[in-house]
Amino acid sequence: MSQIRGSLGTEIVGPVPADGGWQHREKSGYAAADFEIDWHNRVATCPQGQQSLKWSRRQDEQGEPMAFIRFPFSVCQDCPVRALCTKGTEQGRTLNLHVQPVQEALKGRREEQFTPAFQMRYARRAGTIAQGVHLGLRQIPSMGIEKMHLHHVAIAAGINLIRIDAHLQAQAYHKPTRPTRRLTPFARLQERCVPNAA
């Protein structure tokens, strides 16, 4: 997200999934966000003050670079709050983190996405994805990046024309551009047949 924002001058507006660890799902224990990460020295510190033993780079299933952090088993085994941190019986706590720019962007978005300001920005794009999929955005009729790009641009132009038409029609009938709720098929038919019914 941060690389796209910096290189293209745009910002991706959308929520990111929550941390996938059991600690976050059960809302108990120490999730990855509770650890202090020193990216420069490649050391992680747990909430109990213990430092990581090993820090290595790996790739996830999609080929994205990740930081794999391991804490010493001897320290985790004797920790009084071990049950809040790890369920592993053979090794100490491990963390799999994205590289620093991605991890910091995810952390920032996870904090931001529950604010009212973000909810308002996100609401503006409501319907965009669904409308694009409805118009064939996910089905490309031919192979090749150039043809795919042309297909996407044509669909985007079509969506713009549909929205301009909806806006102009709404202005002509003195109605809001987007209805507050979706009309049933019968209500739409009634609205078209009897102009003063709505």
Cα(73)–Cα(90) distance, integer angstroms: 8
Q: What is the residue extent of each domain of the chain?
A: 2-122, 128-193
Predicted confidence (pLDDT) at residue 139 exceeds the cutoff of 60: yes
Q: Look at 54 and 131; give whichever has higher pLDDT.
A: 54
Which of 5-9, 139-143, 188-192 is the least confident region?
5-9
Q: What pTM did the predictor assign?
A: 0.59
- 13, 112 in Cβ contact below 8 A? no
Average pLDDT over residues 6-31: 78
Predicted confidence (pLDDT) at residue 4 exceeds the cutoff of 60: no
Three-class secondary structure assignment of the chain: CHHHHHHHCCCCCCCCCCCCCHHHHHCCCCCHHHCEEECCCCEEECCCCCECCEEEEEECCCCCEEEEEECCHHHHHCCCCHHHHCCCCCCCCEEEEECHHHHHHHHHHHHHCCCHHHHHHHHCCCCHHHHHHHCCCCCCCCCCHHHHHHHHHHHHHHHHHHHHHHHHHHHHCCCCCCCCCCCCHHHHHHHHHCCCCC
The pLDDT confidence band at residue 173, using thresholds 50, 70 and 90, is confident
Q: According to the model, what pLDDT value does residue 192 have?
A: 79
Predicted confidence (pLDDT) at residue 85 exceeds the cutoff of 80: yes
